[in-house]
Structure 1
C-alpha cells in the first residue's frame, strides 16, 4: 500500500506528528471504521475520520433528517430534510475526501444483525442516541473482538470511554442496567461536537498505536463549568456480556 503525491500533501501535517508518521498514516489508510449513527455524534465523527484518511468508513443509520436535527447534526443541511441520514452524510464526505471509501448502510441495528454489521471493522464509533442500541453494539463488539469507542451527550454534559474486548471493562460493566430513555433529549450541538472529536482521537490512537486509549477510564465533561473528571472503571466478573466467573 502506497500514497499518491496528493495523499502525501493532504496528510502532511499529521504525518509530521511524532508517533504517527507515514507508518501511522498507512495504518489509517488500511483501517475500516464503522460509525453507528448519523446524528449529533456521528456527523462530526465521520467528518474528521474521513478528513484524517481512514481508508473505509461505513455510516449506519436508517433514520431520515428532521428540521430539529440541524442544530447539532452538522453534515445535514436544510435541503436534506426528509432524506436518509446515512445518504446525506456520505454525499458530503465523498466530496471532502475522494481518496477514501465511504459507504451508507441503510439498516436498523438489532440484536439479530449487530454482530454481522460490526464484523471485520477495525473500530466501531458510537454515534447513537439511545442506550438500547448502544448495549446491542457493545455486546456485538465484545463477541466479535472489535474495539468500541463509546460517547454519550445530554444537554451540556457528556462522557466517553473506550472498550477494548478482553483488556478492560465493557459498557455493561460500567452501566449494568440500560439507563432510562428520553423521547427528546436536550442537547447543545457544541457538546455533541466536542465528544465526537474526542471519539475520533481515541479511534486514531487505537489505529496508529499512539498514546494511551481510555480503556478502564471514563471521562465526564461538564461544559457548564468547563471541567473534566476521570473515573476509573473495572471489568466485572459477573458482567453478562464480558464477565468470567471466578
Structure 2
C-alpha cells in the first residue's frame, strides 16, 4: 500500500506504538475538509499533509493579502492576489506528492455546504466569522461528521472537537450567534502572529487523533491558550437539550433563556438603583481589566472554576467581558454552582 519513499517519509511516526502502520493506513484513507486556509488553516494543512492525510479539501474564497503574511506562513509575497485555496494546493503538493488535494475557491453557503462536506470524513473549521462557524457546525451535525474547531483573538486561542461520537457540538458551547458587528475580528483588534501556529498544531493533532482512533479527543472539552502567560487550560461542557434546527438553518437556536441576558441600559438602571443588589463580574484577563473597565470585580474566565466561591452571592450577578462571548460561557459554567440570579451583559463593555 505504501511506496518505499513513503515509508521513509513517515518512519518517525510509524515507530510510535499508538499510531504504527495501522494508523498510517487510516491517515492515507482519510478524507479531510479544511474550512479556511488562513492563519489556522495554514499550519493545520501543512501538518496534516506532511503526516500523510490521503485526501484533503480546502474551502476558501479569500485572496492572499500582504497583511496575512505575518501569520499565514504557507504563503509568500508572490502569492498576493491569488485565491488561498489554490495557492495552498500548489504549496502542499510540493510538500507531499502522495496525497490528493482539492480546492474549493468558493464561499460556503447553505446551498453548497452539504454537497461539499458529505465528500469528507472529518471537517476542520478555521474560519474567522460566526455565520460560517454555525453553518459548518449545523451541516456536520446533519451529516454526522466530526468537527475539529479552532479560533484566535488577540493573544487567546481556543480548540475543541464537536459532534464526535454523539458528543456536544458548537451550539452546546455557544448557543447563539452574536449580532453582526458585535464581535470585532482580527483586522480590528489584531492577533499575535505565532498564535495561529500554536492553535493550528493543536487542531491538526486532534484531527490525527480522530482519524487514527488514538488518545483522548477534546470532545466536550474546550482547550484555551493564552500566549501572554503561557496558560493552557481545559474546560468541560456537556451536550444540551434543544429544539431541532430549522431545515434551512436560517436562525440560530438559543438554549440560554432570554432572562439570562441584559443590555447595557438595563445594567445602568440596576446599578443606579438602591433597591437592586447587583455585583458586576468582569471575566476578562487582568491586563484587559487594567487597560479599561466599567467597574466590578475581575476574575478571569480561566480562573472561575477555582475562584467562584469568592464571588459574593448577591441577588443579581452580572458577568461581562469585551464582547459578551466569554461572559456567556461564565454564566453557563457557574449557573449550577451559585445560588443567585446570573446574567450576561449582551455586547460586553463595547456596548
- Shared fold, TM over 0.5: yes
| Aligned counterpart in structure 1 of residue 219 of structure 2, from 215, 232, 239 | 215
Partner of 1:204: 208
Contact residue 142 and residue 165 of structure 1 kept, 8 A: no
Equivalence for 1:225: 229
Q: How many residues align?
A: 242
Q: 1: distance between equivalents of 2:120 and 2:217? A: 18
Matched position secondary structure for 1:34: strand
The CA distance in 1 between the partners of 2:183 and 2:64, in whole Å, is 21
Name 2:17's counterpart in structure 1: 18
Task: State the Cα distance separating 1:223 from its structure 2 match.
Answer: 1.2
Determine helix, strand or coil for the equivalent of 1:146. coil
Hey, what does 2:199 align to over in structure 1? 195
Distance in 2 (alpha carbons) for counterparts of 1:181 and 1:84 = 26
Task: String of CA shifts for 1:191-221, please: whole Å, max 9, x gaps.
Answer: 1111111010000000111101000110111
Residue by residue over 1:113-147, the C-alpha shift from the partner in whole angstroms, topping out at 9 and shown as x without a partner, is: 11111113121111211111011000000100111
- Going from structure 1 to structure 2, the CA distance change for 1:76 and 1:137 (only over 3 Å counts) comes to same
Task: Judge which range, 20-29 or 97-106, deviates more.
Answer: 97-106
Q: Closer, same or farther in 2 for the Cα pair 1:241/1:195, shift >3 Å?
A: farther
Report what 1:182 is aligned to.
Answer: 184
Give the 3 Å change call, closer, same or farther, for CA 220–240 of structure 1 in structure 2.
farther
C-alpha offsets along residues 142-189 of structure 1, whole Å, 9 cap, x if unaligned? 100111000100011011110125521110110011133325241112
Q: Looking at both structures, which has the greater relative contact order when contacts are Cα pairs under 8 Å and sequence separation is at least 6?
A: 1
| 2:272 corresponds to | none
* Structure 2 unpaired stretches of 5+: 247-252, 254-351
Superposed CA offset, 1:2-31 (max 9, x none): 111111110000011111100100000000
CA distance in 2, matches of 1:80, 1:152: 24
Aligned counterparts, 1:80-159, within 5 A: 80-159=79-158
Say yes or no: does 1:44 pair with 2:78: no
Q: Name the larger-Rg structure.
A: 2
Q: Give TM-score, length-normalised by structure 1.
A: 0.94
Distance, in Å, in 2 between the alignment partners of 1:24 and 1:241 is 35
Q: Hey, what does 2:260 align to over in structure 1?
A: none
Once the two structures are TM-superposed, the CA of residue 102 in structure 1 deviates from its matched residue by: 1.0
| Contiguous gaps of at least 5 residues in structure 1 | none
Q: What per-residue deviation string (whole Å, max 9, x for no partner) do you get for residues 39-61 of structure 1?
A: 00001110111000000111111
